[in-house]
Amino acid sequence: MKYDAAVIGAGPAGSFAAIGLASLGYRTLLIDPCNKKKVCAGILTAQYVREFETDEVYIERKLKGVKISFRDINGEINYRQAFEYSIDRETYDNFNLNKALSAGSELKKDAVVSLHETDQWIEIKTKKDVVYADYVVIASGVSDLATQFGGLKQYAYCMQQRKDATPDSYFEMDMKTDGYSWVAPKKDYVLTGTSSLIDYPDIPGDKALIPVGGPVERTYFSRVLLAGDAAGFVSPFEGEGIYYARRSGEIAAEVLAGVMSGENNIADYEKRWKNEFDFSTLNVVSDLLADEDVLEKFVREIRDNEGFNEFVENILTKESKDLSPGDISYLLGKIVH
């Protein structure tokens, strides 16, 4: 059986790619075993909330800001103009998957074993059988499949667990030079997690791999696109990826629809996401915070300097999308010199 497009992975990147393609009338197959729990803090960022509709069915709590700590130094950023949501990630994913099915996408509950790209189509071998598609979107996160197509080679190890504790309305980040720990407040409990660049932290919980290092070198091939975590679309500072996953899935669908209608070529995918996603701001911050002295000054300035506090808020909420030369000088002057 052959499809116009197959989407591997039913997270936000995969579901929104399938929604876009199926709603335009393309025969679309969404492949996911649908048997794995997604390990994720579950935060819809201010940028996500500004640009996309949300639904109360998956929202757990409205967030007022973020608390950032390093050693015994604690800073608090109260959002002035923006807000974020803490969500139930499983409900969010199911909501988006159902939208993909309603748009006309088919769902195959199976795991992909391998892909073989030819001049005419892609052969997709799953655990159960073989299907064919003209094009494929790999949205399966950190996986061997993505790596086969030049996907993610750098990642952090993380552990996450649910705790019965009274939540407040702030996302909490305990910073380290090689990662961070977090507390995500939900409706009546919290999710706590921690990450490491070396190996899984020696604590109980659910395991996951988080992309680090920014986007992979190449995100398109003659019949294959990489989207979401599979492409490394995760903020290097706070580890957020839901916004980038959804939007990259939408862009992938728009580009493939254009390819199949003869209006553009598949290389336009990389041009499109590079035009929309500016990782340079967070890369600058992330690189600086790899030094303990700089990290300590960073959190201290957040605590003590109202102007710097607002500056970091603009970075986190994407109110300032680019760091100008003046902004970079200000940042360096505050936490390096």
- Please give the Cα distance from 134 to 153 (Å, whole number): 27
**DSSP assignment, residue 87?**
E
Q: Please report the pLDDT score of residue 323 as a whole number.
A: 64
Whether 290 contacts 273, CB under 8 Å: no
Smallest CA-to-CA distance from 206 within 190, 197, 194 is with 194
The residue with greater pLDDT, 153 or 123, is 123
Q: Please report the pLDDT score of residue 197 as a whole number.
A: 85
Which domains, from first to last, does the chain contain?
1-42+88-153+214-277 (3.50.50.60), 282-335 (no CATH)
Read off the pTM.
0.94
Render pLDDT for 257-267 as a digit per residue (tens, 0 to 9).
Answer: 999 999 999 99
Q: Please report the pLDDT score of residue 300 as a whole number.
A: 94
pLDDT exceeds cutoff 90 at 30:
yes
Mean pLDDT of all residues belonging to the chain: 91
Q: Tally Cβ neighbours within 10 Å of residue 234.
A: 27
Whether 152 contacts 173, CB under 8 Å: no
pLDDT exceeds cutoff 70 at 280:
yes
DSSP 124-145: EEESS-EEEEEEEEE---S-HH
Long-range contacts, 146-151 (Cβ 8 Å, 24+): 146/226, 146/230, 146/231, 148/114, 148/115, 149/115, 149/221, 149/224, 149/226, 150/216, 150/217, 150/218, 150/221, 150/226, 151/216, 151/226, 151/230, 151/231, 151/232
- E strand or H helix at 193: strand 190-196
**DSSP assignment, residue 103?**
T
- E strand or H helix at 30: strand 28-31
Phi-psi region at 107: left, alpha or beta (left = phi > 0; alpha = psi -120 to 50): beta
CA dihedral 143, 114, 149, 267 (to 10 degrees): -120
Render pLDDT for 130-166 as a digit per residue (tens, 0 to 9).
Answer: 999 999 999 998 888 888 887 666 788 999 999 999 9
Q: Please report the pLDDT score of residue 134 as a whole number.
A: 98
- Please give the Cα distance from 234 to 179 (Å, whole number): 14
